[in-house]
Structure 1
Amino acid sequence: MPSGASPRSPMDIEYTKLSSPSVFLVRMLVFLVLCTLVGVVLYRQIIQAFFANPGLNALIGGVLFIGIILAFRQVIRLYPEVSWVNNFRIADPGLAPARHPKLLAPMAMILGGERTGRMTITQTTMRHLLDSIATRLDEARDISRYMTGLLVFLGLLGTFWGLIETVGSVGKVIDGLKVGGDSGALFDTLKEGLAAPLGGMGISFSSSLFGLAGSLILGFLDLQSSQAQNRFYTDLEDWLATTVREYGRGEVPVAAAGGGGVASGELQAAVERLRSVLEEGSASRGTTAAMASLAEAIQALVSHMRTEQQMIREWADGQGEQNREIRRLLERIARQPEKG
């Protein structure tokens, strides 16, 4: 235990421990088992619907399989990250974790490879770390959401494909009917011709069935993986918040050698003050530039208004001159009868 660092109780360590995503993985496995049981019960109907359009339905099944793998991968990849954070959180000073994380790589680089005392970070550093981790988690979620939308699109594509074939086949059947023939032959021709439209309906309904069912399965798995990632993000934020709170009470990192940690804490505080000054300076420069742009816009507006006022004044003067000319003309017309 380094000097100046108070020992943490087991309750505090358990409070900041990151929880395992096993519960979400179990939910996903149970859901897949239930879906498999439903598929076994409806085996004959599913096979019959699949062969109505085997090409498109096989594509839908392939997309669903890839989406399931990606959903499980999003949850499984959290295990080493959770293990690294928990090991780093309770590790003794000077002990480095065996494996470095991938999702938390920026955090591992900032915090260092090993513990040299009680870890403390600033509020700005914590926010940067959380933003970086949230961006990486969102990138993984976007792929699963795209897969879900792709399944719906493929189902709709098969639906419209089957409807197009149905409409075309019905038109051919109607054109091939001979009204003047025997009614029995006419009925046989109609019965044979309806086979193609019914096949088109099978294509549309089977593709829609597989697409919507696949999107339902993948949507539930994506929901569970998103909840696992949100739990991981929330636990990580709670743990980082404890380090910021300790730093806010005036505690500074304490090195194993003794007084070097105090100098490190003072240097870190000075860097934070310098960063705040620079941010305020950049904000003031941005405000000055905005005010200058606003002044230029107001000046241009004033110039435009002056130009319009000058035009209105000239128009009013012209109207006044015309009114005077009309008045003189009316007076001349009024005088002419008197002279006559």
Structure 2
Amino acid sequence: MSNTKAYAAFSAKEALKPYEFDRRDLHEDDVKIEIAYCGVCHSDIHFAHNDWGMTQYPVVPGHEIIGRVTEVGPGVTRFKEGDLVGVGCMVDSCGECSSCKEDEEQFCEKGMVMTYGSPDPVMGGVTHGGYSTQIVVKDPFVLKVSENLDTKAVAPLLCAGITTYSPLSQWKVGKGQKVGIIGLGGLGHMGVKFAAAMGADVVMITTSPEKGDDARRLGANDVLVSKDPEQMKAHEGTFDFLLNTVPVAHDINPYIPLLKNNKTMVLVGATPVDLHSMGLIFGRKHISGSLIGGIKETQEMLDFCAKHNIVSDVEMIPIQDINTAYDRVMKSDVKYRFVIDMSSLKS
């Protein structure tokens, strides 16, 4: 057992504060990782505040983890001490169901084991995430990270990155397509970067005209202000694909007319939406959803980022500022992801 320092939520109303717990001893196929950086995801806040009604306290959030291997189990051959690696939103699955065999462990029929907040099949209790000094993860759920990228800015790729890359890849976004990214935040800014790197004609769709310059800096060819009826009318029936990254409850009906016939809008925000079927019926248009990606696709995403030099735009914080960061995320006051320098936890 390894004593581990962390920050944890102890109730829905309390601020996160220091916590210590034990990580397991290494099993045959385990990898021990000293955590260097951990991204701050909106899901961390939902979990800490029990917004989804499933949190067991105390919980150590964090599923955008970058670090160095410090030790491996005797059966591990893919990694060695010193390797730069990542851990994303899940750390285990059954490995036997049809979803797992199709490299879609995120849809495991027995339920994926999330990096934090899931029943821990090894230690009992619940899993604890990356707001900590170290983590022990099964070899198949550890990802290789290129040394050529800005390491601290890689961390959000493990959630925000794969959440936006997966639908763009699954719907085969590429050259010759007009693609709209709805919402310019932690997810949206990654969607713009990926769609642009895939060769699409990218339009940032936002309620905030002042975000236009930043959207173009990130790779957008054009900006559509969704509050402007004339602009929305001019773009009707012209989009091959829409990626909706809005993280709060909203009306999606105004976006449906933007799609060409038989085209799709994919939702990646876990939030209520308003929908009237009329917009779908005329034009045989589609609304779909997407979670993260499986381990194979997540590694593919990291390799794509290494090839195209894609990372997140980040603001670094010490762990001691995590509660302030949560407040700012809820106010959309960050461009575009917070990343914790986990060395601050040792001070």
Q: Sort the TM-score into its range (normalised by shorter chain).
A: under 0.3
Considering fraction of residues, name the structure with more helix.
1
TM-score, length-normalised on structure 2?
0.20
Name the TM-score, length of structure 1 as normaliser.
Answer: 0.21
Q: Which has the higher contact order (CA 8 A, sep 6+)?
A: 1
Choose between structure 1 and 2: higher strand proportion. Answer: 2
Greater Rg over alpha carbons, structure: 1
